[in-house]
Amino acid sequence: MPHRYIKKILEARVYDVAVETPLDEARGLSERLHNRVLLKREDKQPVFSFKLRGAYNKMSQLTAEERECGVVAASAGNHAQGLALSARKLGVKATIVMPKTTPDVKVNNVRRLGGKVVLHGDAYDEAATFAQQLVQEKGMTYVHPFDDPDVIAGQGTIAMELLRQESGPINAIFVPVGGGGLVAGIATYVKYLRPETKVIGVESEESACLKAAMDAGERVVLPQVGIFADGVAVAQIGKNTFELAQKYVDEVITVSIDEICAAIKDIYDDTRSICEPAGALGVAGLKKYCQREQLTDQTLIAIDSGANVNFDRLRHIAERSELGEKREAIIAARIPEKPGSFRKFCSALGRRNITEFNYRYSDNDSAIVFAGIQIKPGGCDREELVTHLSEKGYTVEDLTDNETAKLHVRYMVGGHAPAAVGDEVVYRFEFPERPGALMNFLSQLGSRWNISMFHYRNHGAAYGRVLVGMQVGSDDQKLVEQFLDEIGYNYWNETDNNAYRLFLG
């Protein structure tokens, strides 16, 4: 089978629309990591993503009859734009089914490239189901975003380029993974020519479908998929792509949202370009691997896979990048409620800068403060900070890895609820973001239980994030989650979350 794919990669028709992208050295990252770090710049494609390669190669293999029927695909962004441009080049009608939550910038670009856009459903799965319905009803030709041999071969041309561009030894290549088309194509070609080079897939912790499949030895469906890195938000790895990944991918690394944000900043610092969260996975995985293996003096390549990011998401990315680079710690500390306590607390921090300080009077004895503290990159300084403050007599809770603290609590005002608010349960939600979405969410939530706390903040993403407190009697606890399951939004029970307990409960 590898010979079949190698032939398909060598014969892939991608350069009618795609360009050979540069392999640039990331000088800042190289110096910091003490390794030679190279970036394969797929963000420089005409549609700012590698997806153009696979889409065009598949389109070029269609028969005249298949082209005459027109092509259809489901996509929330990059595949849609690649297919629309490919269809325009080949004179084929293209219909793209996109979720209603798709940002206008992507919808408008698909239309600008000549694609017909059909908005359907709130998520990719609903759009994909409708696209298959069009195939059945109108006989249109479906172009899969990743699980197709010709699409895989098109993405594999990236490996063909980078092995030619870097003739010396390559120790490892780090590849973003969503449905697996990119990593399958690259791994198959690289392992055929340079079996000593490691190919490492990198996934978001929120959508690690390849790692789950590798661990289980078979494809599995993730019960829940996070959407921060929307370009790789896939619940199940492809059938063809998994078959190849099992044979040729050495390892799969998962990275957090904060680590992805830090990688976006790293790429910006070295290239002055802003990639999307999915596009930065390779760099995030490379950094994590270097730290784990204590590597030096090796040649490492990360695929910068795309740059289709909404401008208004950059605020959230910038806020989280310091945490991802481990330059900031978030703590809760109890200090005496008396004059001079804040000055004494600052003195205990030594030469560390305070990046944030939130406080509200609670009682006459003590106060709990929410503080952001600048620390040295790495991880040891954070532990030393907590230990040092504890030795000074402060009760300290480390909230740096607490998602509710980072997404909600640090932006909320007020304080502890009065005793009158009893039986409060707290849930964190993600719901599709579009005009009227917040009102629709509240309508879905209904009026059966009193809402005792609410925080919503738009992050410029396809999904909104909400923290909700509700007064629910003990007899209704099970009914609440049954009701929430029926609504169908992703949710987490945060009633026992320390950040909520310390500042809001």
How many other C-beta atoms are found inside a 10 Å radius of the C-beta of residue 75? 27
189: left (phi over 0), alpha (psi -120 to 50) or beta: alpha
Angle (CA) 112-113-116 rounded to 5° is 85
Q: Find, among 148, 169, 164, the residue nearest to 57 by Cα.
A: 148
Cβ-based neighbour number of residue 232 at 10 Å: 30
In whole angstroms, give the CA distance from residue 406 to residue 230.
20
Rounded to 5°, angle at Cα 30 from 26 and 34: 170
Residue given tokens 């896979």 in the structure block? 305
DSSP letter for 95, please. E
CB–CB of 184/215 below 8 Å?
no
Active-site residue flag, 51: yes
Parallel/antiparallel/unpaired status of strands 424-432 and 490-493 = antiparallel
Residue with tokens 């005496």: 336
How far is it, in rounded angstroms, from Cα 505 to Cα 495? Answer: 9
The partner residues of 199 in beta bridges, in order of sequence, read 173
Q: Kindly list the distances between the CA atom of residue 419 and the CA atoms of 415, 422, 423, in Å, as whole numbers in the listed order.
A: 12, 7, 10
Of 60, 256, 305, 452, which is the active-site residue? 305
Q: Is 390 a catalytic residue?
A: no
Report helix angle 104-112 to 78-90, nearest 10: 10
CB 502, CB 367: distance < 8 Å: no
Active-site residue, selected from the candidate residues 8, 40, 51, 106: 51
Active site residues: 51, 305
